[in-house]
Amino acid sequence: MVSSIVDGAARATAAVDLAGAPAGSTYAEEKETRASMMLLRVGIPATICEKMGVAISEEIGQLLRLSSCRPPPAPSLSHAASMQHLRTLAFIGIVAGASARRPAPPRAAVMRLRGGLSVGSLAASYGAALSTNPILTKSVTAGAIFGLSDATAQTISSDGGRDWARTAVSCLVGLCYFGPAAHAWYDTVFRLFPEGGVKSTLIKSALGQMFFGPTFTCVFFLASLVAVLGLRQGLASWPGKIRQDLVATWAAGLGFWPFVDLVSYGFIPAKWIPLFVNSCSFVWTIYLSLQAAKTVD
């Protein structure tokens, strides 16, 4: 790398000087040392192309050795000035050729967020958190997404007012129920059906629609009723809410969640599925918040 380019430049410089150096002298060796020190001070990066530098230096050296048999230069330009000019051209040719081959920086290094954080570093940090504290990480993620979903649902449906208690309840449902429940559910599903393939994916998706989805919807309805009506009245209204809205909500979910399941089970690594599902839940929880806000007849 750098040492090869330095050696190539030294050979080129030595070839220039040997055109006028007496035989058996150490003049060329001294020039090699000078050229090496000059290149190192410039700080040529280690990624420059070895072949380019060696090829240029050898070509220049060959031309200079041939030029030693030609008549001396015109009187207007001294021999020392000619040698200095050729040494400069050799150095510029090596650096320019190597710089042209310098690889472009990776695309990931350019993708940075405000504050200097890269997307790759955020993903690595989140992956480390999933490995060390999986349940807590998934729960906090679900709580944040559920809160944003409810705030968005209120923006869509309300006349400008804001029910922060309802948003807080949505956060708690994601934090205390959905995050831990999703962690346990996916661990169980992958333990029972570890293989991939279309059949396994369809079974996992069907189980989610039959058990996990309806159970979560009932819990969300209860939490919303308790937040609005209080514990006693909310529990009393819960069966009626289930009879009124559960089937319609479940049917609407059949047009959304099977596609999410097909993507998550088919293409997403197991440890990243809860994050993917949480991201999709942002859209679904908006709809769920609107359904939960309906009064019980």
Q: What is the pLDDT along the chain (297 residues), one digit of tens a residue?
A: 445 544 555 554 554 454 444 444 454 445 444 544 554 454 554 444 444 455 555 555 565 565 555 545 544 445 555 555 555 555 555 555 555 455 555 544 445 555 555 667 888 888 899 889 999 999 999 999 999 999 999 888 876 678 888 899 999 999 999 999 999 999 999 999 988 888 999 999 999 999 999 999 999 999 999 988 999 999 999 999 999 999 999 999 999 999 999 999 989 988 888 889 989 989 999 999 889 888 887
Tally of residues, the chain: 297
Q: 3-class DSSP state for residue 118?
A: strand
Task: Output the pLDDT for position 31.
Answer: 47
Cα 286 from chain centroid (whole Å): 28
Residue 218 CA: distances (Å) to CA of 176, 177, 215: 15, 12, 5
Q: Which two tokens stand for residue 259?
A: 């596609």
Q: What sign results for the dihedral spanned by CA atoms 156, 158, 160, 162?
A: negative
Alpha carbon distance 176, 90 (integer Å): 70
Q: What sign results for the dihedral spanned by CA atoms 220, 222, 225, 226?
A: negative
Task: Output the pLDDT for position 124.
Answer: 85
Using alpha carbons only, what angle is made at residue 49 by residues 45 and 55, rounded to the nearest 5 degrees? 130
Reference 287, options 168, 156, 144, 182; nearest CA is: 156
DSSP H or E run through 123: helix 119-132
Task: Output the pLDDT for position 79.
Answer: 53
Task: Output the pLDDT for position 49.
Answer: 46
Reference 270, options 185, 147, 162, 174; nearest CA is: 185
pLDDT tens for 215-258 read: 999 999 999 999 889 999 999 999 999 999 999 999 999 999 99
Reference 36, options 63, 57, 66; nearest CA is: 57
Task: Output the pLDDT for position 1.
Answer: 47
Task: Output the pLDDT for position 235.
Answer: 94
Task: Output the pLDDT for position 171.
Answer: 95
